[in-house]
Structure formats: C-alpha cells, structure tokens
C-alpha cells in the first residue's frame, strides 16, 4: 500500500490542529514529523509508548464519507502542564478532584474542549483536501492505561482486518515541555476514499472548528 497520500493527510491535519490549539493557548506550537504506517493490530498499542503507559486520552468517532477513530493523547504527567494553560486559575486553586482521577468538572470540560478543537481542526483540513465529509463525535475522556483506551478500537477493527493504517503526529510547546499526540485510525472501508480521492491544493483560511 502506498502511504504517501496518507502521510500528506496526516501532515495537513496535524498542522491545522497545531495552529488551532496555538491560537487557544496563545503560545507557538511545534509539529513533529508526522507518519503513516500499516501496523498489525497487536502493535497498535505500542504506538504511543506501550499499553501500560498511563495517559489522558480523548477519543472520537469519525463519521461521514470516511469512518474511523481519532485519539488525542497526553501522558498523565503532562496534565498539570496542560491544565495550567487552559484553566490556570482553577488549577492553582483546586483542592482535590471529583472524578476518581483528580480532575474537577471544570478541568474535564476544558480537556474535552481541547480534544474537540484538535479533532475538528485535524478533520477540517483533511476534509478540505479530499473534498469529503469527516464529522467528529463528541469526545470521550479517559485517564487510563493506553491498552485499556485502545481496546475498543482494536475489537472493532479485528472484526474486519488483522492490521490497521495509523496516521500519527505530535505537537509540542517547547517552553513548557507539553507534548500531545494525535492518531487517526481509518476504518478499512475508508481506505479507498482516503487513498484514492483527489487531493485539492491549499488549506482552509481559518484553522480549527
């Protein structure tokens, strides 16, 4: 399978997502080199540090003309940095959490909004380039081991394939050390659309949802 086009889509989506989040945070973000690979399903859990790594993951279903799943992942150790950027007053004043993971309702809401911004910007760029509709669901938030976060995705894919095409990229904020990863796992039924559609030049003028 020629992954050149998938790499192009991954780069465009990640660049638009980084721009959108940078506008929200008021800080410049850097984009690591995106990649696109075909992985055996048993290797997918290793894509972001191994199945036992504890992460904060925002997961979304992708609907429209090309189905799939989108994951936005931050290491658990990254949460104080991210929360200080999106809800600094709440983080400084907080005393304990309310959801079993030390997160208040305000913090959960802020994290889900970050996930929504990144996902919408990522999919908007891909949708524009391909000329197809890619619609995100409401994000789900989990603080858990990566293996647990990805189990439901792998079960869905295992019903139709023993491998997955994974589009991945990483954004980071150099000053604070914040790093987040974006993974798009298209459903096998979407591969022909993503890999065969005519890619239009340029990106939307405005990044983000």
**Residue 204 is assigned to a structural domain of this protein:** no
**How many structural domains comprise the chain?**
1
**89: confidence class by pLDDT, cuts 50, 70, 90:** low
Q: Taking residues 54-62, what's their average pLDDT?
A: 93
Residue 133: which domain range?
A: 4-196
**So what's the pLDDT on residue 94?**
55
**Residue 207 is assigned to a structural domain of this protein:** no
Distance CA(26)–CA(33), nearest Å, equals 22
* CB neighbour list of residue 70: distance below 8 Å, 6 or more residues apart: 59, 60, 61, 62, 119, 122, 123, 136, 182, 183, 184, 185
What is the DSSP annotation of 117-140?
HHHHHHHHHHHHHHTS-EEE---E
Cα dihedral 115/120/122/128 (nearest 10): 180
**70: confidence class by pLDDT, cuts 50, 70, 90:** very high
**Which CATH number do you get for residue 151?**
3.40.1550.10
Over pLDDT 90: what percentage of the chain?
42
* CB neighbour list of residue 86: distance below 8 Å, 6 or more residues apart: 24, 25, 110, 111, 113, 114
**Highest-scoring range by mean pLDDT, 40-44, 71-75, 155-159:** 71-75
**Residue 209 is assigned to a structural domain of this protein:** no
What is the DSSP annotation of 79-119?
HHHHHHHHSHHHHHH--S-SSSSS--HHHHHHHHHHHHHHH
**Residue 201 is assigned to a structural domain of this protein:** no
* CB neighbour list of residue 208: distance below 8 Å, 6 or more residues apart: 16, 19, 20, 23, 117, 120, 121, 124
**Residue 205 is assigned to a structural domain of this protein:** no
Q: E strand or H helix at 11, and its extent?
A: helix 4-25
Q: Taking residues 30-54, what's their average pLDDT?
A: 86
């Amino acid at each position: 399978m020629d992954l050149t086009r998938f790499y192009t889509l991954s780069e465009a989506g990640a660049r638009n997502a980084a721009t959108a989040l940078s506008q929200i945070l008021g800080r410049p973000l850097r984009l690591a080199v995106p990649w696109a690979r075909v992985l055996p399903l048993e290797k997918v859990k290793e894509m972001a540090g191994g199945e036992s790594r504890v992460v904060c993951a925002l997961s979304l279903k992708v609907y429209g003309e090309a189905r799939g799943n989108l994951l936005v992942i931050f290491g658990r150790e990254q949460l104080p940095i991210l929360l200080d950027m999106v809800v600094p007053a709440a983080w400084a004043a907080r005393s304990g959490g309310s959801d079993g993971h030390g997160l208040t309702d305000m913090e959960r809401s802020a994290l889900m909004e970050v996930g929504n911004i990144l996902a919408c910007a990522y999919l908007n760029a891909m949708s524009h380039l391909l000329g197809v509709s890619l619609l995100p669901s409401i994000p789900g938030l989990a603080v858990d081991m990566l293996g647990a976060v990805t189990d439901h995705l792998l079960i869905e894919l295992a019903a139709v394939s023993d491998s997955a095409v994974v589009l991945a990229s990483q954004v980071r904020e150099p000053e604070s050390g914040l790093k987040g990863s974006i993974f798009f796992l298209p459903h096998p039924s979407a591969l022909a659309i993503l890999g065969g559609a005519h890619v239009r030049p340029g990106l939307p003028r405005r990044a983000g949802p």
